[in-house]
Structure 1
Amino acid sequence: MSLEHQQNLGLRERKKAKTIASIQMHALRLFSELGYNETTVEQIAEAAEISPSTFFRYFSSKEDVIITDNYDPLLISAFEDQPSHLTPLQAVRNAMLSTTSDMSGDEMSTTRERNQLVMSVPELRAATLNNLTDTMHMIAEMVAKRVGRDPGDLQIRTFAGAVIGVNISVMLHYAENPNENFSELLSEALNLLETGLPL
């Protein structure tokens, strides 16, 4: 793949991620004003100035607006760009921080509001767990490829599970402490994991 093709792919993925973030931002505002159960897909589409069919190009349902995180392709690309001398955890940390540092203020606000909504709606908590399990498998595959191991290896899965656990703890902390810096929290938490979580 040429550098130009990679850059175009990255731009497309970033544009798609920003469109998704915009729809989520409008949806969250409506959820706050009208209530989650009372808000319709049509209302979200109208607020985001898109058609319902465009909405369904990005999301399969209203629930999906909250649990979808379109930064996975960006994370994979950033991870694959990490220098080979870094440990898998250092490479994951750098990749995660590079994707969060590129988020706008609106995107960070949307992330925090999504986390807060997930915490308050039981159906969304359950759906988010499925989504995080998928992300754990993705991280296991990324890391396994980097170190030449099987993604089903217990050590690889444990590593991926630990990274997801850190991510969950940071998301919950950030939802409760919105004035803190998400990227700094994530970096600190992953550093704790790297040092063996001394207590």
Structure 2
Amino acid sequence: MMAAKRSTGLRELKKARTRAAIQKHALRLFRERGYEATTVEQVAQAAEVAHTTVFRYFPTKEDLVITDEADPLFYESLRTQPAGMTSVEALRAAMRDVLGTFAPDELAEARERAVLILSVPALRGAAFGSFVDTMRIVGAILAERAGRPSDDTAVRTLTGAAFGVMLDQMIRWAEDPDLNLVEALDTALATLEKSPPR
């Protein structure tokens, strides 16, 4: 039983490393050659994998940029924040938990992805769909934490406001590489504390 768990753990670790390597090479090529001029085959060659492997991890070329491995970590952190916290307090704590663990090179890579998304129309469209999906998941978690239905107006309003704040800070960060994203997000989200749903 332990051997099977170890094997599964190693397999998942290998998959995560492969996924990260593919995305890293893709971002480098997009930076060097431009997004439109870079093919998935070139990304596969740079990452030393088959192009079918790239598509196994990233179903579309856009996914090479918009896929964010931090999202599941954020959802889990948000779910496990103490029950006595307001929705905004839980959002702020989860954001600090996840972004606060990023190494400088990981933050630089995340910023590079944000810049690409804002500058390439095809990526903006794909990112919007992903953004909406993420907002729905977070809204459902906040509703569950508050003991309210997922279509509750107060929860949906707060979620929309929080995501507006986060989007604004991501745009600022793309424009200003010196912005401390963690502090900026925390400060901006704190402005929503005045009337959070419980």
TM-score, structure 2 length as denominator? 0.85
1:122–1:142 CA distance, 2 compared to 1 (3 A):
same
Aligned equivalent of 1:166: 165
Kindly name which structure, 1 or 2, has the bigger radius of gyration based on alpha carbons.
2
**Offset, 1:20:** 4.0
CA distance in 2, matches of 1:129, 1:186: 19
Using CA pairs under 8 Å that are at least 6 residues apart, name the structure with larger relative contact order, 1 or 2.
2
Note the C-alpha offset of 1:145: 0.8
Equivalent residue pairs, number:
188
Cα pair distance change 1:10/1:104, threshold 3 Å: farther
Q: What SS does structure 1 have at the residue aligned with 2:151?
A: coil
| Identity among equivalent pairs (%) | 46
In 1, Cα distance between the equivalents of 2:29 and 2:41? 11
Contact 1:139 1:160 in 2 (8 A): yes
- Aligned partners of 2:15, 2:84: CA distance in 1, in Å? 32
Deviation string 1:24-46 (CA, Å, 9 cap, x unpaired) is: 33212111211111111121122
Q: List aligned pairs for 1:177-196, cutoff 5 A.
A: 177-195=176-194
With normalisation by structure 1, the TM-score equals: 0.84
- The question of whether the paired residues in 1 share the 8 Å contact of 2:40 and 2:51 is answered with yes
Any unmatched runs of 5+ in structure 1? 1-8
Aligned in 2, Cα 1:148/1:12: closer, same or farther, shift over 3 Å? farther
Structure 2 residue 26 is the aligned partner of structure 1 residue 27: yes
The 3-state SS of whatever aligns with 2:62 is helix
- After alignment, is 136-145 or 101-110 more displaced? 101-110
* One-letter identity of the residue aligned with 1:36: Y
Residue in 2 that maps onto 1:78: 77
CA–CA separation in structure 1 for the residues paired with 2:81 and 2:12: 19
Give the 3 Å change call, closer, same or farther, for CA 172–141 of structure 1 in structure 2: same
Ranges in structure 2 where 5+ consecutive residues have no aligned partner: 1-7
How far has the Cα of 1:62 moved from its partner?
Answer: 0.9
Question: Structure 1 residues 71 and 159 mapped into 2: Cα distance closer, same or farther (>3 Å)?
Answer: same
Q: 1:185 to 1:136 in 2, by over 3 A?
A: same
